[in-house]
Amino acid sequence: MTEKTIFKKIIDKEIPAKIVYEDDLCLAFYDVMPQAPVHFLVIPKKEIASVSDIGPEDGELIGHLFAVIGKLAAQLGIAEEGYRVVSNCGVNACQTVKHLHFHVMGGRPFGWPPG
């Protein structure tokens, strides 16, 4: 059996996290190494390794995750000025945790194109 990812351990409450929001389908918690004044992660409870592993059966789930992102961004006060949503996928994008997650960052300006 493969070892649980750190995010699966957070879902299973085996390790602590600063949880922002939770429902049956997803969990949102603050990143331990924030890259912006507001930086949280939104993850599905379903174990999906990355964007590349999302299937057609996950459409409703992914839609739900983005609805939660928008709601939390508004609640945490970053929606008006704007925020960035990022999902690193694979080695070149520096994905370190192989459990699908969306970084939601706000509270400062972000450059484009990214470095």
Q: How far is the CB of 34 from ligand AMP (least distance, A)?
A: 8
Query: Do you find a cis peptide bond into 34, omega within 30 degrees of 0?
Result: no
| Annotation marks residue 101 as catalytic | yes
CA distance linking residue 97 with residue 101, whole number of Å: 8
Question: With contact defined as beta carbons under 8 Å apart, do 41 and 1 qualify?
Answer: no
Stretch that binds ligand AMP, among 54-62, 63-71, 75-83, 95-103 (CB under 6 A): 95-103
Q: How far is the CB of 105 from ligand AMP (least distance, A)?
A: 10
Q: How far is the CB of 40 from ligand AMP (least distance, A)?
A: 9
Which x/- pattern, by CB under 6 A, does the window 65-94 give for ligand AMP?
-----------------------x-----x
CA distance linking residue 17 with residue 11, whole number of Å: 9
Which residue is listed with tokens 């459990």? Answer: 99
Structure token digits, residue 106: 């706000």
The residues binding ligand AMP (CB under 6 A) are 6, 17, 29, 31-33, 88, 94-97
